[in-house]
Amino acid sequence: MEKIKVDKELCIGCGACAATCPDTFEINDDMLAEVIKDEVTEEVIEAAENCPTEAIKIEENKEDEN
């Protein structure tokens, strides 16, 4: 299973991810993107590809490899 992560050091809070995929991302009180639903869809992949700072990562869950 894949996991969605937002690198808070890279995120600038532009909101492109939340606009592309509002069911998965929101801008939190710190004005940074936050994952609210951890389900990888085509829209999530599109949001990751279009992130201007490449802050969104889709990673394989290490626990599933065992």
- DSSP classification of residue 51: -
pLDDT at 60: 86
Q: What pTM did the predictor assign? A: 0.86
C-alpha 63/C-alpha 4 separation (Å) is 15
Amino acid at 56: I
pLDDT tens-digit readout, 3-51: 999 999 999 999 999 999 999 999 999 999 999 999 999 999 999 999 9
Which pLDDT does position 61 carry in this prediction?
76
Number of domains forming the structure of the chain: 1
Range of 59's domain?
2-65
At 53, the pLDDT band (50, 70, 90 cuts) reads very high
CATH code of 60's domain = 3.30.70.20
pLDDT at residue 1 in the model? 82
3-state secondary structure of 56: strand
